[in-house]
Amino acid sequence: MKFYLTPGSCSTGIHILLEELELVFEAHIINLLAGDHQKPDFLAVNPKATIPALVLDDGTVLTEFAAIAYWLARSYPKAQLLPGDVAGDARAIELIDYVVGTLHGQGFARIFTTVKFSPNPADFEAVKAQGLSIVQQGFQLVNDLLPSQGYALGSFSIADAALFYVEFWADKSDIVLPENCLAHYRLMCSRPVVRRVLMEEGYRPT
């Protein structure tokens, strides 16, 4: 398989899952700041110009965090990356969707890629402030759903990998995580695979 990633991005969550499964894959770094995602070679792989992207052994391509995470969990069921019952699996997808769609797509996107929400520099601070508000409210909502200790759904799942990457962004952005989210982030940072992935991507584990 070929895995297209940007260190420290949402693809870090998929990187964690690939390492958890001990899968063999080629890692291809996409430098978003340099515009690698808009180059013809990558667009031929993923016309959406987004990461993560995973090229499977048969040459087909999977994109979008939730789809890749779900495929990994269902393809390697012995790893138990999903709860295994309909309600539990739905809860995992529910959390992933909220992380990717709201915390990432509406909140952090306004903070990190402000110009996409307004081309006018005079609006930038207001856009970033709106993004921060979405992030803080979002983390509080997730916090109220999380257990006070342990993983999001009891045992480690694809939902934890998703939640981790936005908690990681919060940590690196000096955004205070509420209590249960902070406990979850610290638990994830203590996981050997997570620590190894962070080091591989050029970060010092917390």
- Catalytic center residues: 9
Position of tokens 């709201």?
102
Nearest partner of 178 among 150, 204, 148, 153, judged by Cα: 148
Query: In the CATH hierarchy, which top-level class contains the domain 2-79?
Result: alpha beta
206 pLDDT exceeds 80?
no
CATH architecture group of domain 86-191: Up-down Bundle (1.20)
The structural domains of the chain, with segments of one domain joined by +, span 2-79, 86-191
138 pLDDT exceeds 90?
yes
Range 40-63 average pLDDT: 97
CA 151, 201, 31, 56 torsion: positive or negative? negative
Element (H, E) at 85: none
51 pLDDT exceeds 80?
yes
Range 7-24 average pLDDT: 97
Q: pLDDT class for 50, splitting at 50, 70, 90? A: very high
41 pLDDT exceeds 80?
yes
Position of tokens 């342990």?
150
Range 186-205 average pLDDT: 95
